[in-house]
Every structure is written in structure tokens, then in C-alpha cells.
Amino acid sequence: MVEAGFPAGSVNIVTGSGAGAGAALAAHPGVDFVSFTGSPEVGQIIQKLCADHFITCTLELGGKSPQIVFADADLDAAIPVIVKAITQNSGQTCSAGSRILIERSAYDAVIARLKTAFEAVRVGPPEMDVECGPIITAKQRRRVQGFIDKAKADGIPVIAEGTIVPDAPEGGYYVAPTLFGPTPRDNVIAREEVFGPVLIAMPFDDEEDAIALANGTDYGLVAALWTRDGSRQMRFAKRVRTGQMFVNCYGAGAGIELPFGGSGKSGHGREKGFAALHDFSKTKTTVFHHG
Amino acid sequence: MSVPSRSEPMNFIGGEWTRPSGAATLDVHEPATGQVIGRIVESSQEDVDRAVAAAREAFDHGTWGKTSALERSRLLIRLGTLIQREAGRLAEIEARDTGKPASVAKADIVALARYFEFYGGAADKLHGETVPYLNGYFVTVTPEPHGVTGISCPGTIRRRCSAGRWPPRSRSATPRCSSPPRMPAPRRSPWSISWWRRVSRPVP
């Protein structure tokens, strides 16, 4: 940064914990704006601290983003993308596609394809360069495993699991990617963000049911629709509550050009793209009276 | 792969690696093995105060507040180029710090550089507008920076996350303090961002 020529003080970095440095930053009277990415619980704390000195913030919180798959979906295209959307970064992105909603008539066929693809996912250390890596901390690993264990205890069927490679170092934070289904709509794993490589499958009956299911969590960050029906694409694009809607794709390279952000428990404000320039600025209206 | 370790965790404030006010540190664990690979500062109120003060100074009185859109554009683009130059080493650190597969870490660094390229190109293209009004009046609506902005991001997408927030703000001439918080457990992989700053400027 210094080599690039950024003047002293233009960028400063302090590390620390949320309770310490994070809260101090949001609360500091010398700060005019805050951008926070993290859990919804801490996001609420940050926003309240911002309110105390009348500044705004953008919040990038969690997600429980649905992949909505109709019977006419191109599964050759969809399946690899859907698997990658939950195993990439070990499912540790706010934008992870952590639910797959499947038209009931196609449920068995889609699950069969997903099962095969999921079982091929390997988890290992970076140098092995496999499909999935470890969870970021020991604590987070326990949390993810806790969700998996509870879902199993609740009797939700495990359709498939990926494999932790035999040579994975013993002390590492590895979790086997897990596909559950069919998942009861009121189960905690159907509604809460796991933040790990866990995909839950649910059947739906028709378009109205799919939209209700897609919109049926507190989150609203990313969604994807897999169908060849153009009118259906338009209807869903308008009605699904989400900041990013993908049609026959998911993520699409996550280009910087694409505004990104959520609503509800996913947060607010838009980052990336030109939208970020507007969110991260304020405006001044100047009125000249020249007569 | 060997990554040099710093003997003493520091913050980066006012263009310098700075000793923290206290001795509190957080261990950084490598997710692939669980081993401790470094330590970072657990910053105190005083450290945050110093960082905010440095940002305020740069914006209110210093060079940054007076930097033109063209110059900001060039700085951002130059930083993107430097990131590409250091891509191999940054990807190694990122992979080690977060546990992500090697090719994913490399792709993330490519995306990181792209963030600076994009906003560098946008910096001098954010226009205001005029508003038709009563006779004898001329009205403009112009975008302005907020001032000092605080950015908090998590460890799992550390670099891209911080980059995504910094350039729009930089482009609006708002210096930033960054604290990667986590509540209440220790910080996840902020080590890589500290290292990134380091490779941009060799520590004496």
C-alpha cells in the first residue's frame, strides 16, 4: 500500500475481537460510517452503536439462500453449480446456496444426481487442492458439526456425504459435506444459517409453494432459479425476496460489477458494482441563487 | 512452503507498523492442521483511537483529503497491479490462513486485484447531477465521501471482503480503520491481511 503510494493514514489496520476493537470502532465518535460483515447478532450490536452517534452502516450478514429447481431444469448444468455453491469455501460464505428446493415430480431424479455429485466431494488441506477445505476455526467446526448431529438426531435422512481425505492432518478442522433431505420445513436446519458445507433438500408442490418456501426464512441474500420456462423466470425474478437473483446459474463468477447485499436478517446496503459507490457516499444539494 | 513469521504482532497505523498499546494478542491457527502459525494484536480502545486519529488527520488535514479523483484512480490501479505481482505469495498465505484449496486461494487473489482495477477505473467517473428548479436558481447534487469509515470483516473471505469495502470508500476519499472483529471468540484469520500490508512494504 505504501509502495502504491497511499498516503499515511489513508488506510489503517487494527486487528482484534468483536467485543474489543470491533465495537470500539463502531462506537467511535471520529468514525463517520461503518461497513460490517459478520453474524446477524453482532450486526445488530454494530448498528446500535452506530445509532448512538448518528451514523449509518452497511451490514453484510448471513443467508440461507435457496436453489429452486423445477422439473424442466437442465440438470447437467445445474448439479455441479449447486454442489459448488455449498462446498466452495467450505460453505463459509454469506452467499452459500444452502437450501435446494425441488419440484416434487422431479425430487427423486434430482436427488439421485445430487447424491452422486456430493459423494465425489473431497475435503483436505490446501496443498491437496481438492474440492473443499477445512472450517476456519475449531469453534466454528464444532458449531457446524453440532448442526449436522442435531439434524441426524432429529431423524432427517442423510442422502450423501463427501469424504475427508485420509491424509488430512489430524488437528485440522475438517467436516464432511453433508446433504440432508427431505427436510421438515420447521426444523432449525431449514431456517438457520449453518455456515458450513451442509445442503438441505426440500420438495415443493407448485410455483406459489416454491416462492413461499424461498421467502420463508428471515434472510434474503441470494437465490437461484433453474428452469427453461421464460415466463416463470420473470415471475420468480420479481417475487423472490433477495438481493441477488440468479437464473440458470449461481454466483456467475461473483464479479465486482454485480451489486451485492441483502434484506432482513441478511443485512442492508449494497456492496460491489456502482451501487457501492452510492452507498458509500452521501450527497450535498447546493442551491445557487443567481437572479 | 515457508512463510516468514513476524516476531512481534503489530497494527498498521499512519503508514507505519505500530506497536500496540497493550500486550494482548490472539493466536492464529492454521485450519488445515490446527497449529498456531502466528499471533495478531488484540487491539484495545487506545489502539482504535490511534487508528481513527490517523484516519481523521489524513482526511481532514492531510494529503488524502486533497487527493484528486485522477490520483486516487491511479493509486487504486497501482495497488491492483502490485497485488498481481505478489499474487503467488499472497495466495500461499491466504490458503494457509483460511484453509481454502490452493487454486481457490489463487482465484481469490485474482478477484482481489480485479476489485482495485474496477474501482480505480470508477474513481473519476462518479458524477453528480443538476436539478431543474425555479427561475434564477441553479441546483447541483454532488456525491461526497462520508469521511472516516470503519470496516469490519471476518476471516473466511478476508481479503476480498476488505477489498470490496475499501475501494468504494477510497474512491470517495475516505480513509478507513479496519478492525476484523469476531464476537466473542478470537479473530479468524486476520493474519493474512496483516501480512498483505507487510509485503507491500518491507519491515525494516
| Mean per-residue pLDDT, A15-30 | 86
Cβ atoms B112, B163 nearer than 8 A: yes
Q: Which site among B75, B144, B177 would you substitute to test the A interface, given the most A Cβ atoms closer than 10 Å to its Cβ?
A: B177
Is the predicted ipTM greater than 0.85, yes or no?
A: yes
Per-10-residue mean pLDDT, chain B, length 204: 57 91 91 94 92 92 88 93 94 93 95 93 93 98 92 61 49 36 25 35 26
Nearest to B53 among A30, A274, A288 (CB): A30
DSSP annotation string for A130-196: -SB---SSHHHHHHHHHHHHHHHHTTPPEEEE-EE-TTS-TTS-----EEE-SPPTTSHHHHS---S
| A275 chain-B contacts, CB cut-off 8 A | none
- The active-site residue, picked from A50, A94, A131, A161, is A94
> Within an 8 Å CB–CB cutoff, is residue A47 touching chain B?
no
Question: What would the pLDDT profile of A254-265 be if each residue is shown by its tens digit?
Answer: 999 999 999 999
Question: What percent of chain A lies above the pLDDT cut of 90?
Answer: 88
Chain A's closest residue to B112, CA to CA, is A256
CA A104/CA B13 separation, integer angstroms: 57
Specify the residue for cell string 434472510. Answer: A219
* Three-state secondary structure call for residue B144: strand
Specify the residue for cell string 451501487. Answer: A275
Inter-chain contact A35–B82, Cβ cutoff 8 Å? no
The distance of A236 to chain B (nearest Cα, Å) reads 28
Inter-chain contact A9–B57, Cβ cutoff 8 Å? yes
pTM beyond 0.95: the answer is: no
| A3 chain-B contacts, CB cut-off 8 A | 82, 200-201
